Amino acid sequence: MKIFKGMSAASGMALGPVSLFSSEEKSHIPHYTVDSGDIEKEIYRADSSFKEAQSEMRTMIKNARESFDRDAADIFHAHLTILEDAEIHKKVYHSILNQKVNAESALETVFAEYIDKYSNLEGHFAELIHDFIDTRNRILEKLGSKSAQALCPAEKIRPVIVVADRLIPSLVLDLAAEDVLAFVSKQGGLTNHATILARSLGVPIVLGVDVGTISCGTILAVDGSLGKVIVDPDAKTTDYYNRKIESLKKKKLVCVAKKNFPTATNTGKKITLKINISTPEESERAEALGHDGIGLLRTEFLFTQRNYAPTEEEQYAMYKKILDSTRGKPVSARLLDIGADKVPLFLELPPNTDPCMGLRGSFAVETFPDLYLTQIKALLRANTGNNLRVLYPMISDTNDIQPFRKLMNEAKLKLKRAKVPFNPVKIPEGVMIETPAAVMSSSEIFQEVDFVNIGTNDLLQYALAVSRNTSMTEKRYHILHPALMKYIEIIVKEARKAKKEVCLCGEVSSFEEFYPLLIAAGLKSFSVTPSKFDDIKCSIMHIGNETPGDLLKDYYKLHTREEIDKFFSKFV
């Protein structure tokens, strides 16, 4: 028996045989010259492979939306954008024509340019490398070159624990959910696209494990909560994990029976559980979940992936569809948030804009007032059922609220003057607390607004002064860092004083094992991705009578990521 310690990317436990996968990128790409008479044929092969890959990607986007998987849909959109890039097509065709090489060789050469371009960057820019690699591999597969393949002869054994040097999106997508017990890899991070896709399968994931010594068919015990992988577990260890896995199955069966019950802990404490939405389709399909409203409507879907700004009428139609679909339940619509990874194609940012920050919050409003004015007018018109709540993004203090509020008043005035009908009632205003400054100003902020949402993704990286999208950060810091918990406690305390709602809607809300601590800190409202709704509700329903003070005291005694992982493992 041998034990490896890695980094947890998804909780849960699994026990089963190994299936090794290779994600070699270049060794399977054929390179050869072609005769002048075959150049047209190679260009046709390249063109056909692009079209086939585009069609496949559109289907994957559709399927992702139908399964409430916003993260997967966003990743597929990024890949489709690359597949449809006319400049890339042009370069591939010119390479075939001028260099007289086969389609595969031309693709490899052209994509290498883009991969090299982003090789020295960090954060979401570095992730573009893997987007280009995976998109290239998908096109190559249409030409007959397989990039990721199973290395184990006993491939008929199912289900398996997938072990690879690095997870890539195409590898994950080629596997059926029922065939995978867990993922283990040497490379990767929490926010890598392949990891996000793997997490959607609901199985444990452990990264940072030296997989070189693991062989085909070997039995592994994977403890996603502790980031632990046990090779050839002994009888006692095997029995332990079998019992834990069986206990988890029984827990889920209880939740299925109570699917239509209100969300509450085992001791009867009521919890508001909402959903995060990125498209109108998600809202319609999520009706069956029995959620308490839309805690975060990301409106960026209307602005990205297009070369022109959406009109007021386009936005009105979309917002009306979403607001009506909830049948009176509240919808918190966040105004356009221009982050570095979600800049609309039609916008030209000022030359001094930080490429890693984008143009956030009130600075974006002051730079593009007409864009936001149009959005607010469309939202006001769509609020016929009086269930709209507006969220202002990236607020640091009360001064940041004023540009948004000024545009809100201007929008109402313009609609009145134009005699365009809209609901004149006061719309509840909320802000996203995503900076340490906003946390420390939360007492004053609560005096200005009706509710707040906590965006833990940005708040964590600004608290630690490190990018949340790098593997080094993820290996050192836990996603629910003690500093982040202390920030949450401050916000909850001020919300209680002001008697106003605070809703947690960031990435940490997707981890079931965090909820005993989050609820102990006083949080009563959460907003989660629809694909995790049932799991989160199930976890909340099994939270017992832990003493909040003792739980928080024990948590704050911890110092390392490993200690924190062990602390949360008892809640799985």
pLDDT tens digit sequence for 66-117: 665 666 777 888 888 889 988 999 999 999 999 999 999 999 899 988 888 7
Of residues 523 and 28, the one with the higher pLDDT is: 523
Answer yes or no: do 16 and 155 share one domain.
yes
**Do 304 and 345 meet the contact criterion of CB atoms below 8 Å apart?**
yes
Considering the domain boundaries, does residue 264 fall inside one?
no
For the chain, what is the domain count? Answer: 3
φ, ψ dihedrals at 504, nearest 5°? -90, 120
Residue 175, domain CATH:
3.50.30.10
Domain boundary, last residue among 194, 222, 252: 252
* Token code pair at residue 231: 């090779």
Answer yes or no: do 374 and 418 share one domain.
yes
pLDDT surpassing 60 at residue 513: yes
Task: Name residue 472's beta-bridge partners.
Answer: none
State pLDDT tens for residues 316-325. Answer: 999 999 999 8
Q: Which amino acid is at 561?
A: R
Answer yes or no: do 289 and 247 share one domain.
no
Half-sphere CA count of 89, side-chain side, radius 13 A: 15
> Cβ of 418: how many Cβ atoms within 10 Å?
8
Answer yes or no: do 219 and 116 share one domain.
no
Buried b (16+ CB within 10 A) or exposed e, 538-549: bbbbbbeebeee
Domain boundary, last residue among 142, 169, 203: 142
Q: Which domain holds residue 203?
A: 2-23+149-252
DSSP string, 230-264: EES--HHHHHHHHHHHHHHHHHHHHHHHTTTSPPB
**Do 224 and 12 meet the contact criterion of CB atoms below 8 Å apart?**
yes
pLDDT surpassing 70 at residue 123: no
Answer yes or no: do 135 and 155 share one domain.
no
Considering the domain boundaries, does residue 229 fall inside one?
yes
Answer yes or no: do 179 and 131 share one domain.
no
Average pLDDT of the residues of the chain: 87
Q: Which pLDDT score is estimated for 68?
A: 55
Answer yes or no: do 113 and 226 share one domain.
no
**Do 379 and 388 meet the contact criterion of CB atoms below 8 Å apart?**
yes
State pLDDT tens for residues 270-294. Answer: 999 999 988 777 777 677 788 999 9
Answer yes or no: do 242 and 291 share one domain.
no
Of residues 225 and 414, the one with the higher pLDDT is: 414
State pLDDT tens for residues 29-44. Answer: 788 888 988 999 999 9
pLDDT-based confidence at residue 134 (cuts at 50, 70, 90): confident
Considering the domain boundaries, does residue 263 fall inside one?
no
Domain boundary, last residue among 142, 160, 184: 142
The packing angle between helices 401-417 and 369-382, to 10°, is 60
| Alpha carbon of residue 260 to chain centroid | 27
Answer yes or no: do 357 and 451 share one domain.
yes
Answer yes or no: do 16 and 116 share one domain.
no
Question: What is the C-alpha separation between 219 and 206, in angstroms, rounded?
Answer: 16
> Cβ of 448: how many Cβ atoms within 10 Å?
15
Contacts 24+ apart (CB under 8 A), 554-557: 555/482, 555/485, 555/517, 556/482, 556/485, 556/486
| Prediction pTM value | 0.74
> Cβ of 119: how many Cβ atoms within 10 Å?
11
**Do 137 and 96 meet the contact criterion of CB atoms below 8 Å apart?**
no
Question: What is the C-alpha separation between 171 and 148, in angstroms, rounded?
Answer: 6
**Do 45 and 53 meet the contact criterion of CB atoms below 8 Å apart?**
no
The packing angle between helices 70-83 and 123-142, to 10°, is 70
Question: What is the C-alpha separation between 59 and 54, in angstroms, rounded?
Answer: 9
**Do 401 and 431 meet the contact criterion of CB atoms below 8 Å apart?**
yes
Element (H, E) at 473: helix 471-476
Q: Which pLDDT score is estimated for 26?
A: 47
**Do 48 and 56 meet the contact criterion of CB atoms below 8 Å apart?**
no
Q: Which pLDDT score is estimated for 179?
A: 87
pLDDT-based confidence at residue 471 (cuts at 50, 70, 90): low
Answer yes or no: do 213 and 128 share one domain.
no
**Do 53 and 83 meet the contact criterion of CB atoms below 8 Å apart?**
yes
**Count of helices and strands (H, E) across the chain:** 22, 17
Residue 561, domain CATH:
3.20.20.60
Answer yes or no: do 286 and 234 share one domain.
no
